[in-house]
Amino acid sequence: MTSTSTPSLLPGTSRTLAASVRGLSKTYGDGDTAVHALRSVDLDLAPGRFTAVMGPSGSGKSTLMHCMAGLDRPTEGSVTIAGVDLTTLDDDRLTHFRRDHLGFVFQAFNLLPMLTARQNILLPFELTGRRMEDGTAERIEQVIDVLGLRDRLDHRPGELSGGQQQRVAIARALAADADVVFADEPTGNLDSTASAEVLAFLRRSVAEFGHTVVMVTHEMDAAAYADDVVVLADGGIREHLVAPSRARVAQALEGGAR
Amino acid sequence: MRTVLFASLRTHTRRYVAALVAVTIAVAFVVVIDALGSGARNAIAASVESAYPEADLIVGEEFGLAESDPVRVLEVAAQRGDEASVIATAWTRVDGPDGTLGDDVEVGTVATDPGLRSTNVVTGRGPIADDQALVSRETAASAGIELGDRLTVGTGQATRTVTVVGLTERSSYLSPDVHLTWPALSALDSEIVDSVAYAVREGSVAEAREALTEVVESQVQLRDDYVSARIVSMNKGVDVLGYLLLLFAAIAGFVAVLVIANTFTILFAQRTRDFALLRCVGATRRQVLRSVRVESVALALVAATTGVVGGLLASRALGVLARALAGSDSFGDIDHSPGWLGAAFVGGVVTTVVAAWLPTRAVVRVSPLAALRPAQEPSARTTAGRVRLALGLLGAAAGLAALVLAHRTETVPLMLAGGMVSFVGVLLLGPVIVPALLRLVGATAGRFSGPVRVASANAVRNPRRSAATTASLLVGVTLATAVLTGMASGRQSVEAEMNAEYPVDLALSGTSQVSPTTVAKVRGLDGVAAVLTPPGTRVETDGPTLTVVAPSDAERERTLDASVTRVGDDEIVFPASYVASFEEEGVPDRVTVRTAAGPLTLTVRTVFASWGSAAVVSPETLDRLTPAGTTRVLWVMADDGADAQDLAGTLGAVAGGADLEVTDNLEDQQWVSLQLDVLVWSVLGLLGVGVAIALVGIANTVGLSILERSREHALLRALGLTRKGLRHTLAAEGMLLALVAAVLGTALGTLYAWFGVVTVVQSAFPAAALVVPWAQLAAVLVVAALAGLASCVLPARRAARIMPAAGLTLD
Ligand SMILES: Nc1ncnc2c1ncn2[C@@H]1O[C@H](COP(=O)(O)OP(=O)(O)OP(=O)(O)O)[C@@H](O)[C@H]1O
Ligand SMILES: [Mg+2]
């Protein structure tokens, strides 16, 4: 881990914090059967950094990510991204916010099966229904080249390998120039070579495009690509490590196993 | 396997709702048909029962009886000291104190003996003399007749005057408007005898029966035997109607089969992984198959039960409604025949199980490996798909050939067979035709809207499923279009015929000259658009004295009748409404008329038309008959939408004062047109049941596809599609499917209507041509599209409510 320096920020994204979470709780069900997936979580993420979220299965990683990304409503607490408190937005505003500011890469089912790779990449623009701003088209072409997707653009997801599908999903997140990109186990279905490729691209998007990336992962190797590591246990944050060593992360995780 | 079966029935109940609803509607429809039939039958039974008095014997056949029989029965009754009463009806002209009641008022008999009277007198008393009459309460109310008023009954020499002494209540199918005694009615010379009721006063019934059988030609039956035989024969009409209605039930059933088969196909496709997993953990093919078959039987039993129960409830409600609308004398109590109920139940079960059979077979083909592979997008490029397409092409081509051949040879059964075969062919070709149309419609509409673009991409994803979904609606729309277009074409032919037959709406004619004040009065009446007064005169002939008129060219134009327009100088044209003036001797080939310049012989032409009591000659002929023509006939053109009865009434009042006779063509025309309307609307209403099932099917397919795609929807929502956007996309998908079914259906329906017109209608009306009712067809399109939209509102709302996070973790 060498990246302790903050990468240069793109104009317009310069804020003190990329994302800020206060007192975030999520409870499923109620009464005796209530499951506390998150218990009053506080978390601050600096802009232009690649953060890995780790922790044992069922610790609330996906739940935290869904709430932070405005895909689900927390039971309590607030989530502020790009200066906007997501919990105060109604569904339409929240949807527009996601469209304009956030990007997603999931473990699987990232792409619409009836659309080609290019159509999938352009989907956020299609949904906006607006014309692309100047420079967007060039950035998209650049992203496509960087991700090595040029000769696969007219294929449908069914005709792409798992790694290629994930690359298309990353291309979509980067093409829309998201403030924060959320990735839930993006390499969970990939072999080590494909994983390495995908992680390298996420890393590059932070370095070259100045994005902020939050990635949920189980794998130590994947976490090694991140700047910071947040370790969750039992619905709470056990540790928030800045540029930790591999051994430090392993130690934090084991703490949960004790 | 039992735990799996119960768990899956529990989990999937919701998804079976549509199939359940489809079967329920079809089964309930059958139950309702039986119930409505029983209502009509019971009303007939009650009405026949009350038409015949409590006599001992009845002399009569199913229809009428020998002419000399009534007199003979009356003679026997007089000899033996018994009572007999002739039941007869005549249709003749009746005039009241405030004008005419009409040209063919139903006049019936009433028994003078109270013991043989079936008529229910509510005010006044039964007639005791031949110059007295009873009038039904309804007729009295509408014509303003009161007790003591005098009526003139009959025409010509048979006319007689009677005094109203009582009012009656309608209670049977033989309830006439005016009742006379048998001697009075038979004096009209136009009576039709139904039967003679006979009450034995002296001796035994058997003796009387023997005595009667000896002298009459018709059958002599015990009263109860006769009545039940009559009820049976009258019910035949209802039964025929019942079977016709079953045809519509069959259509509804067919649509239900499509919906059920489609539902099962989709459900099983969605559960392929479950099945494969079961196979992986060791379930045999047979076990898996049995579990899904048991599922379909369970569904069938539940659906047939709800159908029967729903049908029973709907029958009650409709029975009350029908009695309120039609009156309890034309709709009686309803009851259900156990056989019919059983058939409906068994039919529902069998239909469901059969419809589920093919899809369940696909389940067997699932290999355990399918559990491990990602779900595949289906394609039509399988062997089965190709066989299906080949069959479809064959069916469409063979059906079309049969239709063409049927047109050449004017064979209706061949036409029907061709229509069915070609339609099945089109249904089989659906997976090719429907996606192509979806793309076309989607591309056109998608240019204006993003959601429609996504929707059309979604709709073509599974060609076979889209085809199956549209198929059910296609059946309804095709039939509706064929009916609408066929009826519009037939109606035009009928109307052309009616325009020839009824060149004027109403005519006033008399034997003397019509005064200008009368003409002005008629012109000023409400509902009168124009009055033509062709010049005419009275002429002496070698036969009767005739009224002749000579319409000018302009007047002939207005009367729309080619046969009147071309009247030669040596011709005289009689409408069928005026040939009665020749009475016994019949219409001669020529008539010789007296003119100032000596006799003139004219060739007689009779046309099947009605324009009052006047013959038409050319203006030149009229000049030779009289130096100055005068007004003899008023030809009245009514306003569009004028009420025929009102107009006839007000004209009748004017005519009565001026000693003119009214010929009412408008009422006949409006009646025919009303019958056609009733026919079209009944057929459409009955097809509506099938269409309703089809819409349930569309809602179902879209609903199930939505479930299947909840991950995609979550993804779209995550990427920034708003709730409204998602709802619109899904609604657009349902609307596209419905619209494509409607477009294809209207095209096919119009084609079938054309074959119907050239094969059936042209054999009756050679000049018939296809008339496309554009407005109605547009309405069909709009209704289908809106219904498709409406049927998707609920599933779309449900889908849009789910939070993206929840959708992403759904399986
Ligand atoms: N819809 C739900 N209803 C009830 N409980 C839920 C629901 N979703 C998640 N949970 C519970 O919340 C807790 C956190 O779940 P979450 O999916 O966030 O875990 P995770 O850390 O992502 O686990 P994994 O590493 O296995 O993906 C778990 O105990 C889970 O059972
Ligand atoms: Mg998770």
The answer to whether the pTM exceeds 0.90 is no
pLDDT digits (tens, 9 = 90+) for B433-485: 888 888 888 788 767 666 677 777 777 777 777 887 788 888 888 888 888 88
Confidence at residue B383, expressed as pLDDT on a 0 to 100 scale: 61
**B212 and B122 within one domain:** yes
**pLDDT over 70 (residue B228):** yes
Asked if A172 is an interface residue toward chain B (Cβ–Cβ < 8 A), one would say yes
Cα–Cα distance for residue pair B685/B691, rounded to 1 Å: 10
* Chain B from 746 to 805: CB within 8 A of any A CB: 803-805
Higher pLDDT, B810 or B386: B386
Cβ of B715 and A128 within 8 Å?
no
Higher pLDDT, B231 or B811: B231
Using a pLDDT cut of 70, give the percent of chain B over it: 91
d(CA B560, CA B502): 9
Q: Looking at A7-146, which runs of residues are DSSP E strands?
A: 19-28, 35-45, 50-54, 76-81, 84-85, 102-105
CB distance A67 to A78 below 8 Å: no
Q: What's the rounded mean pLDDT across residues A146-161?
A: 84
Provide mean pLDDT across the span B641-650.
77
User: Cβ contact (<8 Å) for B803 and A71?
Assistant: yes
Decide if B188 is inside a domain: yes
Which of residues A169 and B578 earns the better pLDDT score?
A169
CB contact (8 A) between residue B719 and residue A71: no
For the residues B505-523, what does the mean pLDDT come to? 83
Do B90 and B235 lie in one domain? The reply is: no
Judge whether residue B54 has pLDDT over 50.
yes
Note whether B432 contacts A: Cβ–Cβ < 8 A: no
pLDDT at B563: 61
**In the listed set B202, B218, B234, which residue is the last one of a domain according to the structure?**
B218
Same domain (yes/no): B157, B247: no
**Mean pLDDT score of chain A:** 82
Please identify, among B324, B356, B375, the residue that sits at the C-terminal boundary of a domain: B375
- Which residues of B fall within a CB distance of 8 Å from A67? 805
Reported confidence tier of residue A7, pLDDT bands at 50, 70, 90: very low
Indicate whether B638 and B773 sit together in one domain: no
Q: Structural domain boundaries of chain A?
A: 16-28+35-254
List, in order, residues 6 or more apart from B184 with CB less than 8 Å away.
B130, B131, B133, B153, B160, B162
Which of the listed residues A41, A62, A67, A215 should we mutate to test ligand 1's pocket, taking the one with most ligand atoms within 8 A of CB?
A: A62
Same domain, B527 and B660: yes
For residues A190 and A164, the answer to whether their CB atoms sit within 8 Å is no
Q: Across the interface, which of A91, A114, A129 has its CB nearest the CB of B723?
A: A91
**Bigger pLDDT: A167 or B235?**
A167
B395 inside domain = no
Looking at residues B239-256, what average pLDDT do you find? 76
**Rounded (5°) CA angle B708-B709-B714:** 135
- The reply to whether B38 falls in a domain is yes
Residue A256 and residue A233 in contact, taking contact as beta carbons nearer than 8 Å: yes
Boundaries of domain holding B808: 475-502+668-751+762-811
For residue B256, give the nearest of B158, B354, B381 by alpha carbon. B354
Comparing A221-225, B366-370, B598-602, B642-646, the range with the smallest average pLDDT is: B366-370
In a domain, B346, yes or no: yes
The reply to whether ligand 1 has any atom less than 6 angstroms from the CB of A20 is: no
Q: Is B16 in the same domain as B84?
A: no
A5 Cβ inside 6 Å of ligand 1 = no
Least confident of B314-318, B380-384, B397-401: B380-384
pLDDT category of residue B32 using cuts at 50, 70 and 90: confident
Distance of CA A234 from the midpoint of ligand 1 (Å): 10
Q: Is B455 on the interface with A (CB under 8 A)?
A: no
CA–centroid distance for B99 within its chain: 34
Domain CATH code at residue B128: 2.40.40.20
Mean pLDDT of A49-63: 90
- Residue A14 is predicted with a pLDDT of 42
Among B664, B687, B715, where does a domain finish? B664
User: Is the CB of A235 inside a 6 Å radius of any atom of ligand 1?
Assistant: no
Count the neighbouring beta carbons within 10 Å of the beta carbon of residue B320: 12
CB contact under 8 A, A124 and B720: yes
Judged by CB atoms closer than 8 Å, whether chains meet at B722 and A96 is answered as: yes
Q: What is the pLDDT of residue B359?
A: 78
Is B338 a domain residue?
yes
**B506-509 and B120-124 beta bridge pairing:** unpaired
In a domain, B412, yes or no: no
The mean of the pLDDT values for chain B is 80
For an interface test with A, the pick among B458, B465, B719 (most A C-beta atoms closer than 10 Å) comes out as B719
Q: Is the ipTM above a cut-off of 0.90?
A: no
Nearest alpha carbon, ligand 1 atom 25: A57
**Residues 6 or more apart whose Cβ sits within 8 Å of residue B577:** B609, B610, B611, B612, B613, B663
For residues B785 and B640, state if they share a domain.
no
Number of Cβ atoms within 10 Å of the Cβ of B508: 27
| Res B614 pLDDT > 70 | yes
Min Cα separation B744/chain A (Å): 25
* Residue range B548-586, pLDDT digits in tens: 888 887 777 776 565 666 788 888 888 876 766 666 666
Nearest CA-CA distance, residue B732 and chain A, Å: 15
CATH superfamily of A16-28+35-254: P-loop containing nucleotide triphosphate hydrolases (3.40.50.300)
CA of A61 to the centre of ligand 2 (A): 6
Question: Which of A27, A30, A32, A35 should be mutated for ligand 1, with most atoms under 8 A from CB?
Answer: A35
What's the token pair of residue B746? 């209207």
Pocket test for ligand 1, best of A59, A185, A189 (most atoms within 8 A of CB): A59
Say which range, A55-59, A104-108, B130-134, has the weakest mean pLDDT: A104-108
Are B70 and B36 within one domain? Answer: no
Ligand nearest to the CA of B805: 1
Pairwise CB contact (< 8 Å): B804 & A71: yes
Q: Give chain B's domain count.
A: 4
Which residues, in sequence order, are CB contacts of B57 under 8 Å at separation 6+?
B197, B198, B200, B205, B208, B209, B212, B220, B221, B222, B223
The answer to whether A94 faces chain B, any CB pair under 8 Å, is no
The answer on B655 and B530 residing in a single domain is yes
Best residue in A109, A112, A121 to probe B by mutation, most B CBs within 10 Å?
A112
Q: Does one domain contain both B68 and B208?
A: yes
Lowest-confidence segment of B242-256, B329-343, B409-423 by average pLDDT: B242-256
Question: Does residue B421 fall inside a structural domain?
Answer: no
pLDDT score recorded for residue B4: 67
Q: Quick one: B566 and B535 in the same domain?
A: yes
Chain B residues within an 8 Å CB radius of A113: 377, 461, 712
Ligand 1 neighbourhood includes A66 CB (under 6 angstroms): no
**Which of B461, B715, B722 has the CB atom closest to A109's CB atom?**
B715
Q: Does some domain include residue B386?
A: no
Based on the fold, state whether residues B590 and B513 are members of the same structural domain. Answer: yes
Q: Which chain B residue lies closest to A121 (C-alpha atoms)?
A: B719
